[in-house]
Structures are given as structure tokens and as C-alpha cells.
Amino acid sequence: MAVRTSFLALSVVSFAGVAGCQSAGGRASTAESAIPARNSVQFPSAWQFTAGDSAHFAEHAMIASNSRLASEAGIEIVRAGGNAVDAAVAVGFALAVTYPVAGNLGGGGYMVIRMADGRSAALDYREVAPLAASRDMYLDANGNPSEESVIGYRASGVPGAVAGMLEALAKYGTKSRAEALAPAMRLARDGFLVDSALSRSLSGNRRLIGRFSGRAVFFPNDSALKPGTLFRQPALAATLRRIVDHGAQGFYEGVTADSLVAEMARGGGLITAEDLKRYRAIWRTPIAASYRGYQLIAMPPSSSGGTTIAESLNLLETFSPVPPWGSAGYVHLLGSAYQRAFIDRNSKLGDPDFVNVPVAQLTSKEYARMLSKTIDPQRATPTPRDGKQIVDGMHTTHYSVVDDKGNAVATTTTINNGYGSGVYLASVGFFMNDEMDDFASAPGKPNMFGLVQGEVNAIAPGKRMLSAMSPTIVLDPQGGLLLVAGAAGGPRIITTTSQVILNVIQHNMTLADAMRAPRIHHQALPDELLVETGGLTPEAESALKAMGHRIRYTGGLANANAVMRVKGGWHGVSEPRAFGERGTAGY
């Protein structure tokens, strides 16, 4: 096993079995040697979670998402003989019904697939800029970006979610559209009981949703849907029906498309019938990365996720030994690796169909060896203001699916902000995205996430805006499926997903601990180390400050959902930082 447990001495208090793990001889088990026992870990005393919690265990199949109802929709499909792709599609459509803050038909996403026979694939169904979009469309008279890239009709890219899910179903699924969409149709038509998480989320977004047509649907009698209300969405059910009956054409043409285009025209949006008709999801070659013998199957551009995770992990791999988890040394190395990987991300990555992206170079071990020489183990390096490399030369939702046949799917989908642009298309029952803000509206100036990005990610008609979404599948050194992970949270997706992975493969944590461990984030600019409040010991904090790090504490960094193989089955953990019900389902 590549993980060196000896360096865990400071943070590891005892060697323990897997919390919550059972040892029934399930279908998921492979060679026993491929399933290492996990270490227990100690979190800083001020941290909100204690280590050693249990995870949801299931013997055959497991899904972790932000909605239990959506995860159950996927498990229903697996129980009916479907595979992980069928289930992922069922979850995706169900999230559009039960988790309107981020689940969507009006957004886009990415899917990484690994079939039990060894095939892997990456599907890009990111939104594209409408044909009428132009480079400076969001700049005011002073050259500053306006809020139009975030709120209202002009903020939306052409949605890719429906095309993507149907493409995945057609190529890797085994079920019909009617079967895969049945749970979502049922949830929309017959309704589901609103829980306190949905009610609270709506209340928190009242001002945005209230500006557009969603007000009547989500705020009946002028207050947010109350917990316990049976919430039916007949317009959405009819939209889903047209997708079942006519496939992608039932969304990108016909009644749904006509309604969307008419609403856009009414509100000053740019999306036309031609934009919708031209939209296609694209199969891409996954990023194949590795870390100390573990293999990562990750998302290539137009997402920056896989490239940036690969570069960060390659940089960390050049350090041996890796300091113990939670130590100032570890946080410094990891933060410095992220800082460098984000400098490259922000200046060199964009839509590969429009710009040259040096993915092979950025993900190469040789490049990491060269770049790691710029990391001083004792000192933070300031991010150059010009965004050049140090050396020359919320809302989104992620779900992880494994089936009883050994297939796995990692999917992240988004409408960007919570409830997207706020524009709700009442006649067809869904929110539109505000994904245009992921472009560099004003190259060199920060976007909503504070990301300072370059010309490569400038707006152009038909172009995909750079994403941070990082659906990732990890294989153990024997090639067995180990972990399916990803997150929501803008640029913090990259750092959070890679820390969940590192917590498992470098620090040998259980999945429950890997998900609960405090997270850090560095995105080059602003030049600061973000740390979750209570996430550092006082000693680590003063050592990091002495190294020159500017530390800023923040609430929860990102929202991850992951599934991991354990002895006899699977562990599923949905984001412990999220309010409300846990979103795992398994059998």
C-alpha cells in the first residue's frame, strides 16, 4: 500500500477498524488486500465535528447526493436491474424536482463514468454562451462587470443538463427514458413532502426568487413552502413527460423550447431557438492522474477540475514524507500546491474547443517536479499580482453512484448560484442558470467567486465557460474501484474534492472522517489561505502565520458527497456541513 502510515503518528491516536463498517460478504468486496484498515484521526478541539463517526453502509449499491429522495430514486433503478449510469440519470432528473436550489434542467454539468469492465468516460454537458453573447457584454461604461452575469435573463448560458443525461443514458445505460425518468415524473406529478431544509433554503433566497415568476410557486400566500407541505409541480411533470416522449428534441425543440425562448425574449435574455437546437453534450477523454499508486479518473476541460486536482496532487507527491494531517507543514504544502495549480488554472484553462489548453503539461509529473522547487517548506510565497506562474516557464450539486455490478458514476451539475439567475420559467417548471458569470467577464478582474481569470476564458458565442466542477473516481493500486467523490462550491470544489481524496489515500481516514475533517482552500488570488473556523490547532495557526500565510477563517468550505468501498460493501456520506437530512441511499 502506498500510504505511509508512519507519518501519521502525531495526528493518529489509535489504529482502528472502519467506523460503521460491517463485514457481510457483499458483492462489492474484492480482494481483501485491496481494502486497507483505516486509521482514526484527531480533529482540532475547536472543530465542529468529532472524528470516528459512522457512515451509511450498504452491501450492494450506494448513492450519496444532496437529496435522500433523489438518491432513493437511483436505488430504485438499481434494484430494478439498472446500472450506475441509469441510476445517475434517475438521480439527476429527480434532483431537478426535489432540490431546486441546484438540481436542474436549466443548467449543465459533468459526468465521469467507470464501468466494471474497465471502460471510463467523461461527458461534458456544460452550458454554452448564446450565439448573441459577446466578450464585453457585462461591462459597464467604466469597464466594470455588472450584476447581469449573475441575476436575471441575461445571465444564462444554453442549458446542457437534459442533453447530457440523455446522452449518458443512451451510451452507457440499459433502461429506457421512461424507466429512468419514472421516479422524477412521480415526484413532480404526485408531489413530495417539503422538508425543513427546502423550506429554509427558499426563505433564504426569497429576494432573488421573488423578483421573478417563481414567487407564486415557491411562496404561496407570500411565505416559503412550509415543512410538511405536499409540493406538486405539474408544469415540471409535463416538461419531463415531453423528454420521455421525444428525447432531447422534447426539450430543445417544441413546447419547452418555445416557452423558454419566449420568456427569454420577454425578459431581455439572449437564448434563441437556434441556440437550443444546436446544443450538444460532448464526450471527452478523462484526465488520468495518479497519486502514489492510486489512479484518478477525472474531468478534463471545459472543467478545470481534473487538471487542477492532478496538478495539486502531483505537486504534493513530490514531497516525501508528507507531514502529518492537520500539521502546519501539511497545510502549508497543500495550500502552496493549490496556489500554484490555481495560477495555472486561472490563466491557462478554458474551453478546449476555442483555446489551446496545455493539459498534458499541467498534469505531468515532470512539470510538478519543476514547479515544486518553488515551494519553500518554511515560507509562504506571495501570488504574483500579474497572475503569472511563480516559476517561468452557492449553487451546485454533486452525486456519487455505485451499483451492484461494480460500475461507478460521479456527476456534478449546477445552475451556478442557488436558484441560478433567479429566473423561473413557470410554464415549464424550472430555474435558469447564471453560468455566464463563470466566464472572465472582465479578464483580470474577480468574478463572483473572487477568481481572477484570463483571456482564455473570455466570453465568445458558443463557448463553454470554465468550470471548477470535479467529479472524480479513484481506483486503488490494484485497479479496484475505491472512491467516488465530488462537490459543490465554486473553486472550493477542487480543493475540497482533492482533500476528501487525500484524507482517504494519503491519511488513510475512514470516509466519515475524510468528509468531516476541516478543509482549507487557496485559489492564488486573493492571496490568502482560507480555513474552516476551528479547523486549525493554535500551534498550526501560529506556525502558518510565521511562515507568512494570511489566514482567513470561514464557514463550511464546499458541499461534497462521496461513496467508498469498504469490506463487504460501500460507505456513503453526504455533506456533514449541510443543513437537514442526509442524502444517502443504499441497499
Smallest separation (angstroms) from ligand DON to the CB of 110: 9
Contact with ligand DON (CB under 6 A): which of 58, 113, 469, 520?
469
31 burial (CB, 10 Å; 0-12 / 13-18 / 19+) is exposed
Structural contact between residues 93 and 77, judged by C-beta atoms closer than 8 angstroms: no
Q: Does 452 engage in binding with ligand DON (CB under 6 A)?
A: no
Q: Give the closest residue to 531 by CA, choosing from 330, 343, 376, 396.
A: 330
Place of cell 484527531: 42
Measured CA to CA, the distance from residue 384 to residue 343 in angstroms comes to 9
Q: Give the closest residue to 112 by CA, choosing from 408, 528, 374, 386.
A: 408
Measured CA to CA, the distance from residue 298 to residue 576 in angstroms comes to 24
Beta carbon nearer to ligand DON, 256 or 303: 303
Query: Would residue 510 show up in a list of annotated catalytic residues for this protein?
Result: no
Q: Does 521 engage in binding with ligand DON (CB under 6 A)?
A: no
320 burial (CB, 10 Å; 0-12 / 13-18 / 19+) is exposed
The residues, ordered by sequence, that sit 6+ positions from 147 with a Cβ below 8 Å of its Cβ are none
Beta carbon nearer to ligand DON, 78 or 493: 493
Beta carbon nearer to ligand DON, 403 or 575: 575
The cell numbers describing 130, all together, are 448564446
Smallest separation (angstroms) from ligand DON to the CB of 497: 11
**Which range in 201-209, 278-286, 389-397, 536-544 contacts ligand DON by CB under 6 A?**
389-397
Q: How many residues bind ligand DON (CB under 6 A)?
A: 14
Smallest separation (angstroms) from ligand DON to the CB of 4: 33
Measured CA to CA, the distance from residue 386 to residue 391 in angstroms comes to 13
Pairing state between β 472-475 and 487-488: unpaired
**Conformational region of residue 301, where left means phi above 0, alpha means psi within -120 to 50, and beta covers everything else:** beta
Characterize 185-222 residue by residue with b for buried, 16 or more Cβ atoms within 10 angstroms of its Cβ, and e for exposed: bbbbbebbebbebbbebbeebeebbeebebeebbbeee
Structural contact between residues 327 and 298, judged by C-beta atoms closer than 8 angstroms: no
Measured CA to CA, the distance from residue 160 to residue 435 in angstroms comes to 11
Pairing state between β 529-532 and 551-554: parallel
Q: Does 560 engage in binding with ligand DON (CB under 6 A)?
A: no
Q: Does 398 engage in binding with ligand DON (CB under 6 A)?
A: no
Q: Does 255 engage in binding with ligand DON (CB under 6 A)?
A: no
Q: Does 438 engage in binding with ligand DON (CB under 6 A)?
A: yes
Smallest separation (angstroms) from ligand DON to the CB of 436: 10
Q: Does 414 engage in binding with ligand DON (CB under 6 A)?
A: yes
Smallest separation (angstroms) from ligand DON to the CB of 304: 8
| Number of Cα atoms under 13 Å in the Cβ half of residue 66 | 31
Q: Does 395 engage in binding with ligand DON (CB under 6 A)?
A: yes
Q: Does 561 engage in binding with ligand DON (CB under 6 A)?
A: no
Measured CA to CA, the distance from residue 3 to residue 36 in angstroms comes to 10
Smallest separation (angstroms) from ligand DON to the CB of 155: 11
Q: Does 508 engage in binding with ligand DON (CB under 6 A)?
A: no
Smallest separation (angstroms) from ligand DON to the CB of 411: 13
From the centroid of its chain, how far is CA 415? 12
Structural contact between residues 465 and 439, judged by C-beta atoms closer than 8 angstroms: yes
Measured CA to CA, the distance from residue 493 to residue 549 in angstroms comes to 21
Q: Does 429 engage in binding with ligand DON (CB under 6 A)?
A: no
Smallest separation (angstroms) from ligand DON to the CB of 493: 6
Beta carbon nearer to ligand DON, 414 or 498: 414
Contact with ligand DON (CB under 6 A): which of 65, 272, 308, 396?
396
Q: Does 157 engage in binding with ligand DON (CB under 6 A)?
A: no
Between residue 346 and residue 365, which ones bind ligand DON under the rule CB under 6 A?
none
Smallest separation (angstroms) from ligand DON to the CB of 348: 16
Contact with ligand DON (CB under 6 A): which of 160, 329, 454, 490?
490
CB count in 10 Å sphere of residue 347: 22
Identified catalytic residue from 239, 308, 383, 396: 396
Measured CA to CA, the distance from residue 325 to residue 569 in angstroms comes to 27
Contact with ligand DON (CB under 6 A): which of 363, 441, 467, 496?
467
Q: Does 488 engage in binding with ligand DON (CB under 6 A)?
A: yes
Residue nearest ligand DON (C-beta atom): 394
Q: Does 332 engage in binding with ligand DON (CB under 6 A)?
A: no
Q: Does 111 engage in binding with ligand DON (CB under 6 A)?
A: no
**Which range in 4-12, 203-211, 323-331, 487-495 contacts ligand DON by CB under 6 A?**
487-495
Smallest separation (angstroms) from ligand DON to the CB of 18: 30
Q: Does 524 engage in binding with ligand DON (CB under 6 A)?
A: no
Beta carbon nearer to ligand DON, 147 or 539: 147
Give the CA dihedral 131, 137, 138, 141, nearest 10 degrees: -170
Beta carbon nearer to ligand DON, 137 or 536: 137
- 88: helix, strand or coil: helix
Give the CA dihedral 363, 337, 312, 474, nearest 10 degrees: 160
Beta carbon nearer to ligand DON, 468 or 483: 468
The residues binding ligand DON (CB under 6 A) are: 394-396, 414, 416, 435, 438, 467-469, 488-490, 493
Catalytic residue set: 396
